[in-house]
């Protein structure tokens, strides 16, 4: 079995699976059980200064479901911990004492004043916690009070607070980023400039999951009104993956450790975050949906896969795919593929036909006895048929070999790489040297 132990900015944990700062990490009872179930670490539910905040007393979650009511997206209007600071600190200390091998990171959110941070940091340090995470991400409630994403959306504030923290504590500082921003590289650069040891992302995405059409109010509804919440779960994974990759390949932030968060539900999701540059992952919704036990699938799956591939450490996986993330303009325009339908596994549902015929390139033919075939003369290899086919592996994209004739253009496939920057249709194309 592959060794899953990780060292993230000096914080050691037996595996790269941490519970993200959220209800699963809001109290001693939960965290002890999480550690018993096998979680490598936790980021304790965000602490604030007393008087502690309060939560709504009605529903705080909304959801989006897929087939079979599988939870795809969760939205919440919960705030940071609603328990007194000293209770949390006492519990953190007790749990860390009993589980010295697990990562114990404490999430913090206090007003944007140096004194506030100066006050809370020594208290956290005293618990024996391994590090702190600055919650600059919460998109609802706290942001209205000048905290959370209100800070995370202003790079200058991030830099300032990160710097204060580095000055006033010896603990590693992780800055948690909000995705509710146009370009994630700016806050990441600011965190680095402020001296942060790492960034973690993403926090939740501002969202309204649904509208109650009887009461005409957004869900979750509190006494006839709803407020936007933060979206998470499998639905946000693509957004998170892109943001992680953007930071990993940005020249200014390259090498900055990243804790990947957002929709991690299986070992595969975790491996993808690692491949795009994360050093570990954090999980919230999957645990809230299926309970702490899900980590066991993540641990066994990741180690199985690493064994298969011959990776011996998580660090070896981390960042493997980053060199292959590029900009559109550098994609090889001489790469030509065609869709292929495997007739043996085709169940004749015709969804590929409907998709291609109605909305794409009319490149699939349908015979009276429901045989579906790709018309190479029309196929642009867009992949839509692959995506709508209910049978995995039935439709595949097969690249044409160099020299083979592309029946759509009538031209042989050029063996050489050529991208948009040199394409004749590009008005700004740089002429290739004669």
- Site membership for other proteins, residue 370 (CB under 8 A): yes
- Site membership for ligand FMN, residue 203 (CB under 6 A): yes
Among the listed residues 1, 36, 35, the one whose alpha carbon sits nearest the alpha carbon of residue 18:
35
Q: Which two tokens stand for residue 173?
A: 């500082």
**Contacted by 42, from ligand FMN, other proteins, none: CB < 5 to 8 Å by type:** none
- Site membership for other proteins, residue 68 (CB under 8 A): yes
Kindly state the smallest distance separating residue 391's Cβ from other proteins, in Å.
Answer: 6
Whether omega before 202 lies within 30 degrees of 0, making that bond cis, reads: yes
User: What is the spatial distance between Cα 186 and Cα 192, in angstroms, rounded to a whole number?
Assistant: 10
- Site membership for other proteins, residue 347 (CB under 8 A): yes
- Site membership for other proteins, residue 349 (CB under 8 A): yes
* Residue 369 or 434 with smaller CB distance to other proteins: 369
**Contacted by 175, from other proteins, ligand FMN, none: CB < 5 to 8 Å by type:** none
Among the listed residues 388, 366, 362, 364, the one whose alpha carbon sits nearest the alpha carbon of residue 374:
364
- Site membership for other proteins, residue 351 (CB under 8 A): yes
- Site membership for ligand FMN, residue 16 (CB under 6 A): no
- Site membership for ligand FMN, residue 285 (CB under 6 A): yes
What would the x/- binding string for other proteins be over residues 12 to 51, using CB under 8 A?
A: ----------------------------------------
* Residue 25 or 169 with smaller CB distance to ligand FMN: 25
- With beta carbons less than 8 A apart as the criterion, state whether 33 and 200 touch: no
- Site membership for other proteins, residue 67 (CB under 8 A): yes
* Residue 174 or 384 with smaller CB distance to ligand FMN: 174
SS3 call for 298? helix
Kindly state the smallest distance separating residue 358's Cβ from other proteins, in Å.
Answer: 9
CA 184 remoteness from chain centre: 13
- Site membership for ligand FMN, residue 23 (CB under 6 A): yes
User: What is the spatial distance between Cα 240 and Cα 154, in angstroms, rounded to a whole number?
Assistant: 19
Kindly state the smallest distance separating residue 365's Cβ from other proteins, in Å.
Answer: 13
Burial (0-12, 13-18, 19+ Cβ within 10 Å), 382:
middle
User: What is the spatial distance between Cα 177 and Cα 230, in angstroms, rounded to a whole number?
Assistant: 13
Question: 79 to each of 64, 67, 148, 221, 402, how far by Cα in Å?
Answer: 21, 30, 10, 16, 57
Residues identified as active-site: 138
- Site membership for other proteins, residue 411 (CB under 8 A): no
Kindly state the smallest distance separating residue 352's Cβ from other proteins, in Å.
Answer: 8
**Residues 41-100, interacting with ligand FMN (CB under 6 A):** 45-46, 74, 76, 78, 80
How many of the chain's residues bind ligand FMN (CB under 6 A)? 28
Contacts of 263 (CB under 8 A, 6+ apart): 232, 233, 234, 235, 236, 237, 240, 269, 285
- Report the residue from 87, 391, 418, 429 that binds other proteins according to the rule CB under 8 A: 391
SS3 call for 414? coil
Q: What is the CB neighbour count within 10 angstroms for residue 347?
A: 11
Among the listed residues 200, 48, 41, 39, the one whose alpha carbon sits nearest the alpha carbon of residue 133:
200
User: What is the spatial distance between Cα 47 and Cα 106, in angstroms, rounded to a whole number?
Assistant: 8
* Residue 222 or 354 with smaller CB distance to other proteins: 354
Q: Which secondary structure element, helix H or strand E, spans residue 12, and what is its range?
A: strand 11-13
- Site membership for ligand FMN, residue 176 (CB under 6 A): yes
- Site membership for ligand FMN, residue 132 (CB under 6 A): no
Bridge partners, 76 (sequence order)? 61, 230
* Residue 227 or 365 with smaller CB distance to other proteins: 365
Chain residues in the site for ligand FMN (CB under 6 A): 20-23, 45-46, 74, 76, 78, 80, 107, 135, 137-138, 176, 203-204, 232-233, 236, 261-264, 283-286
Chain residues in the site for other proteins (CB under 8 A): 67-69, 347-351, 353-354, 366, 370, 390-391
């Amino acid at each position: 079995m592959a060794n899953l132990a990780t060292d993230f900015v000096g914080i050691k944990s037996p595996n790269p699976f941490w519970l993200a700062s959220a209800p699963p990490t809001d109290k001693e009872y939960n965290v002890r059980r999480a550690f018993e179930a096998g979680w490598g670490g936790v980021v304790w539910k965000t602490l604030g200064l007393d008087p502690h905040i309060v939560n709504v007393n009605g529903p705080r979650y909304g959801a989006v479901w897929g087939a079979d009511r599988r939870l795809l997206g969760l939205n919440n209007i919960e705030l940071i911990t609603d328990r007194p600071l000293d209770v949390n600190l006492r519990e953190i200390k007790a749990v860390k004492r009993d589980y010295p091998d697990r990562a114990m990171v404490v999430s913090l959110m206090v007003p944007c004043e140096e004194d506030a941070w100066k006050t809370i940091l020594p208290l956290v340090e005293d618990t024996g916690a391994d590090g702190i995470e600055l919650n600059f991400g919460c998109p609802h409630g706290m942001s209205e009070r000048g905290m959370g994403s209100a800070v995370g959306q202003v790079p200058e504030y991030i830099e300032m607070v990160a710097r204060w923290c580095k000055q006033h504590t010896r603990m590693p500082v992780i800055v948690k980023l909000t995705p509710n921003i146009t370009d994630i590289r700016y806050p990441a650069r600011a965190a680095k400039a402020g001296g942060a040891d790492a960034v973690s992302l993403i926090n939740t995405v501002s969202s309204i999951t649904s509208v109650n059409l009887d009461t005409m109010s957004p869900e979750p509804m509190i006494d006839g009104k709803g407020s936007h919440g933060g979206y998470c779960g499998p639905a946000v994974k693509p957004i998170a993956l892109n943001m992680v990759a953007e930071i990993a390949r940005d020249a200014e932030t390259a090498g900055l450790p990243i804790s990947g968060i957002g929709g991690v539900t299986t070992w595969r999701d975790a491996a993808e975050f690692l491949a795009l540059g994360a050093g570990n992952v954090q999980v919230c919704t999957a645990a809230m949906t299926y309970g702490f036990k899900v980590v066991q699938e993540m641990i066994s799956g990741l180690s199985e896969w690493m064994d298969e591939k011959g990776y011996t450490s998580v660090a070896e996986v981390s960042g493997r795919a980053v060199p292959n993330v590029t900009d559109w303009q550098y994609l090889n325009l001489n790469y030509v593929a065609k869709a292929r339908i495997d007739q043996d596994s085709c169940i004749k549902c015709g969804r590929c036909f409907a998709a291609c015929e109605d909305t794409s390139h009319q490149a699939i033919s349908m015979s009276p006895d429901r045989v579906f075939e790709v018309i190479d003369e029309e196929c642009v290899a867009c992949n839509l048929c692959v995506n709508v086919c209910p049978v995995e592996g039935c439709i595949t994209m097969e690249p044409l070999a160099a020299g083979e004739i592309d029946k759509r253009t009538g031209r042989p496939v050029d063996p050489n790489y050529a991208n948009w920057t040199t394409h004749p249709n590009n008005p700004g194309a740089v002429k290739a040297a004669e």
